[in-house]
Structures are given as structure tokens and as C-alpha cells.
Amino acid sequence: MSESYVTKDDLKAALKESAEWTTNLLLGELGTRFNEVNQRLDRIDATLVNHTKQLAAGARAIAGFSEWSSKADADYVRVLVELSELKTRVQKLESQ
């Protein structure tokens, strides 16, 4: 039998083999891409954690400066009151 023809079973087997090869290729490529995306997300997460720490440090510094400023304002008012009292006392002493 030297007849060379393709049977339906031959086509099914070739199609099945081709489908398996394509499926394996796609799964491998998807796995690679997901790994790349995961690595990138990990880098982004690390960057955001760093930014969060910097923002928190800045917020603490601003809160500390605000507290210092309030204390400085209170001290300034106290000094002005004391100066005014001293001026009044000096004027009383000079008028005697």
C-alpha cells in the first residue's frame, strides 16, 4: 500500500498535539508575564512604604514645629506683658 493520504484520526491527533503545544506555550508565557507583574508590584509596594514613612516623618516634624511655635508665641506674649509691667514700674518710680 503506497497510498499516502491523511485520515480523520491523523487530523485529530495533529490538532490535539497542536492545541496542547499552544496551550503550554500560552501558559508558560502567562506565567512569565505574571511573575514580571508581581515583581513590579513588589517594587511599587516598597516605594510606597518608603513614601509613607517619609510622609509620616514630615507630619511629625510639622506637628513638633507647630507645638514649638505655640510655645514661642506664649513666651513672646509673656515677655511683652513683663516688659509692659516694668515700664509701668519705671514710670511710677520716675514720677516720684
pLDDT tens figures, 37-95? 999 999 999 999 999 999 999 999 999 999 999 999 999 999 999 999 999 999 999 98
Q: CA 39 to CA 32: how far, in whole Å?
A: 11
Given this model, what pLDDT does residue 15 score? 95
Given this model, what pLDDT does residue 1 score? 45
Q: pLDDT: is 41 or 1 the higher one?
A: 41
Q: CA 6 to CA 3: how far, in whole Å?
A: 10
Given this model, what pLDDT does residue 2 score? 52
Q: CA 65 to CA 6: how far, in whole Å?
A: 86
Given this model, what pLDDT does residue 58 score? 95
- Assessment of whether the complete model's pTM goes beyond 0.75: no
Q: By C-alpha distance, which of 63, 84, 33, 39 is closest to 92?
A: 84
Alpha-carbon distance values, 38 to 29, 44, 48 (Å): 14, 10, 15
Q: Tell whether the model's pLDDT for residue 17 goes beyond 70.
A: yes
* C-alpha radius of gyration, the chain, whole number: 41
- pLDDT category at 5 given cuts 50, 70, 90 is confident
